[in-house]
Structure 1
Amino acid sequence: MTTEEFESLLDHCCKILTEEARSVGFTSSKQFENRVRAVLSVLTADDTSIEIDFNSPAQAFPDIAVGEYGVEVKYTTADTWRSIANSVLETQRVEGVKYIYIVFGKMGGMPEVRWGEYETSVVHVRTSHVPRFEVEIATDKTVARESLFQQMGIRYEDFRQLDMSEKMKYIRAYARKIHPDGRLWWIEEKETDGHTLPIQARLYTNLSPEEKKRLRAEAALVCPGIVKSGRDRNKYDDVVLYLLTYHGVLCHQARDLFSAGSVANPKNDDNGGIYIERALKLIENEMKQAALEMDDAIFIEYWGESVPPERRIARWLEKADDVAKDWKPSESLFHD
C-alpha cells in the first residue's frame, strides 16, 4: 500500500466516523478507538497482507497497526483539535510500523473526525511524570505551522531513536527557545532525568480568582486523596505535582488550596464543619465541568484507568469514600 493509498483510506475512514459522530456520537475514548479499528478493518478487508490486532496492549504506540502504517487515536469531548499525546519515551513502540498518523475525534462543538501526519501534528512537549508530546490537528492545511520537530531542528524518526538523555538535550533547547527569559532551573541536566518538571512556571498566588478556582477544581478531581485525614502529611503532594507539571503553576502553600478559611469559609460564618468538605462543595460545578472536558490521558496517569467523562464524578466519589476518615464524601457532595 502506498502512502497516497493509505491517506485516501484515512479520508474514507474519517468521513464514515464523522457521520457516526454526528448521528449517534461516541461517549468514550475506548469506544471511539475500537470503532476506528473496526472501520479500518473493514476498509482493508481485501488486503490479505494486513491483519489488524483487536487486542493490542493498552499502552502500545501507535494504537493501531495497519501493516507498516500506524494510527494513534485521540479523542476529546471538548471543542478543540489539541490533546496530550504519548510519552516521549515510546517504550511500547509497535515493531514494523514505519509511518504514523493520528485519527482525532472531536466531540465538542460540531463533532468531526480528522486525520493528520503524526510528525507534523506534534506541536509541543510538556512534562508530567515523564515528558509527553502535545498534538494538534491543523484546521487549515494552507496555513504553514512549524511542528515541534521543526522547532527542535531534528526529524521525528531521528529523535525517537535517541536515548532519553539525548532527547532531553533537545527538549531543554526548545524550552529555552520559547521561554528565553524564563527561569528554567528545573529542567537543567542532573545526574538523572528520570523525572523532569515543566518548562514554564507561574506562582499560584499571582493567578486570577477565576483561574485559581478552575485549577482547584481540576486538582481536586485528579487527586481524590485530598479528602484524607488532616494528619496525613502527604495528601497534597499529587496536587502540587499536577499543578506544576500540567499547568506550570507553583503553589508553595498547597494546604491553603482547600483548607484555608478564604476558600472553605469565604463568608466567615463560623458554622464550623469539615473545611475540605466545605471547600469542595463550593467548586462542585467547576469539578463537573472539568470531568467533562479534561483529557483522558490525565486520568489514566493519576487514577490508573480510563473513565468516560460522564462517569468521572461517580468514580471520584468511590475513590474519595475509600480514603476519607470521619466523613463520607458521597453522602454530602454532588447531590444537586
Structure 2
Amino acid sequence: MKKAEFEALLDRCCTQLTIEAQTTGFKTSPQFENRVREVLRDMTIAESFLIDLDPHPQAFPDIAMGEFGVEVKFTTNDTWRSVANSVLETQRVESVKHIYLVFGKMGGTPEVRWGEYEQSVIHVRTSHVPRFEVELPSEKTAVKKSLFEEMGILYDDFRKLPMHEKMKYIRAYARKIHPDGRLWWIEEKETDEHTVPIQARLYTNLTTPEKTKLRAEAALLCPKIVKSGRARDKYDDLVLYLLTYHGVLCHQARDLFSAGSVANPKNDDNGGIYIMRALKLIETEMVEASLTMDDALFVEYWGESVSPERRITRWLEKADELARDWKPSESLFLNN
C-alpha cells in the first residue's frame, strides 16, 4: 500500500468513526482505541496487514500496519490537543516507517480526524519523562509549526538520537520559547528522567481561582494526600504534578491542605480532620477536574484509564485504602 492509499483509508476510517461518535458515542480512551483498530482491520480485510488486537499496552504507535502506524488519541473535551507519548519511545515498533494520528473528540460536536504524526507534535512538556503534546488544526486555533520544525530537525532523525542528545534540542527549544524565563533543567544530564519544568512560577504568587483549580487537580490525581500525617511521601506526587505539568513551585505542599487558612477559612474553631475539611471545600472543583482532565494523566498517576464519570468513585476507593482514622467515602462527595 502506498502513502496516498493509506491516507485515503484513514479518510474512510475517520468518516465512519465520526458517524459512530455522533450516534452511539465513545466514553473511554480504550474503547475508542479498540474501535479504531477494529475498523481498520475490517477495511483492510483483503490486504496482507496483520493487526494485533491485543498489543503491548506501551507499544508505540498503538496500531502497527506494516510500514504504517496509527497513534490513537481521545478526549471527552472540546479540544484537538492532548498529552502524547514519551520522548523516549522505548517501546517503538521499528517496522513502522510512517506514523499517523487518529484523534477522537467527544466534546462539542463529536468528530474523528487524522493527521500526520510529525506535523501534529507541537510541544514537549516535562513529566516523569519529557512527553510530546499533539494538536490537530481546527477552526478555533491557528495552525502551529510542528515541534520538529521549531527544533530544526526531522522527527525520524530526532527519534533515533540517544536521550542526552534529544535533551540538547529540547533545552534549545525551551530557551527559544521562554527567553526571559528561568530554566530549571538547563544543566547537562545524561539521564532519562527530567522532572523539572521549562519555566517555573511560585504557588504563592498565583491568583486564588488558579490556586483552587490546581489544588483540585492535584488532589484528584494524588489520593495519597489523605494518608497519615506521618507518611513522608504523601505530597511527593502532588508537588511533582504542579511542577512538571504547570511549572508551579510550591514551597510548603502541606499547607495546600492542612493550613488553617485553607481547611478552616472561617476560623470557626470546630476542629476536625483538616485534610477532610480542605477537600470538602473543593469538591465542586474536583468534580470539574474529573470530567475535563486528560485520560493520559490518570494512566500516568493512577496506572489505569478511568472514564470521566467514574473518576470520583475510583478516587474514593483509592482514598479509602490510604486513609487512617477516617473514611473519605463517608465524608466526601456525598451528593454525587
1:321 alignment partner, SS class: helix
User: Greater CA deviation, 143-152 or 234-243?
Assistant: 143-152
Show the counterpart of 1:319.
318
Distance (whole Å) between structure 2 residues aligned to residue 9 and residue 320 of structure 1: 45
Distance (Å, rounded) in 2 between the aligned partners of 1:194 and 1:115: 30
With 226-235 and 33-42 compared, the bigger mean Cα shift is at: 226-235
Query: Contact 1:300–1:306 (CA<8 Å) still a contact in 2?
Result: yes
Structure 2 counterparts to residues 137-156 of structure 1, below 5 A: 137-139=136-138, 144-156=143-155
2:45 paired residue number: 45
Shift of 1:233: 2.4
CA contact (8 A) 1:79 1:108 kept: yes
Contact 1:187-1:196 at 8 Å conserved across structures: no
> Offset at 1:46?
1.4
1:256 counterpart = 2:251: no
Identity of aligned residues (%): 76
Amino acid at match of 1:17: L
Per-residue displacement from partner, 1:150-208 (whole Å, max 9, x unpaired)? 00000000000000000000000000000011111323213545334221111111111
Contact map agreement 2:124 2:133 (CA 8 A) in 1 = yes
After TM superposition, list the pairs within 5 Å mapping 1:181-196 onto structure 2.
Answer: 181-190=180-189, 192-196=191-195
Describe the SS at the equivalent of 1:16: helix
- Match in the other structure for 1:304: 303
Instruction: Please list the CA deviations of residues 29-66 of structure 1 after superposition, one character each: whole Å capped at 9, or x if unmatched.
Output: 0000000000101111111x111110101000000012
CA contact 1:71–1:101 (8 Å) conserved in 2 = yes
Map 1:188-207 to 2 at 5 A: 188-190=187-189, 192-207=191-206
Give the SS at the match of 1:71: strand
Which residue in the other structure is 1:25 paired with? 25
Moved over 4 A (4+): 140-144
| Partner deviation per Cα, 1:92-142 (whole Å, 9 max, x = no partner) | 001310000000001111111110100000000001100000000112599
Are the aligned partners of 2:123 and 2:132 in contact in 1 as well (CA < 8 Å)?
Answer: yes
| Residue 266 (structure 1) aligns with | 265
Deviation at 1:312, TM superposition (A): 1.0
Unaligned stretches of 5+ in structure 1? none
Query: In 2, distance between residues paired with 1:229 and 1:66?
Result: 49
* CA shift for structure 1 position 144: 4.9
- Which structure 2 residues correspond to residues 146-295 of structure 1 after superposition, within 5 A? 146-190=145-189, 192-295=191-294
Q: Is residue 291–residue 308 contact of structure 2 (8 Å, CA) maintained in 1?
A: yes
Q: Give me the CA root mean square deviation.
A: 1.4
| TM-score, normalisation: structure 2 | 0.97
Distance 1:269 1:33, change over 3 A: same
Secondary structure at the aligned position of 1:25 is classed as: coil
Which residue does 2:103 correspond to in 1? 104
> Which secondary structure does the structure 1 equivalent of 2:174 belong to?
helix
1:1-42 CA distance string (max 9 Å, x none): 111111111111111111111111101000000000001011
Give the letter aligned to residue 326 of structure 1.
D
Equivalent residue for 1:114? 113
Aligned mates of 1:145, 1:280 — CA distance in 2: 39
Q: CA deviation at 1:300?
A: 1.2
Unaligned stretches of 5+ residues in structure 2: none
Following superposition, the deviation at residue 149 of structure 1 comes to 0.2
Q: Is the 8 A contact 2:164 2:189 kept in 1?
A: no
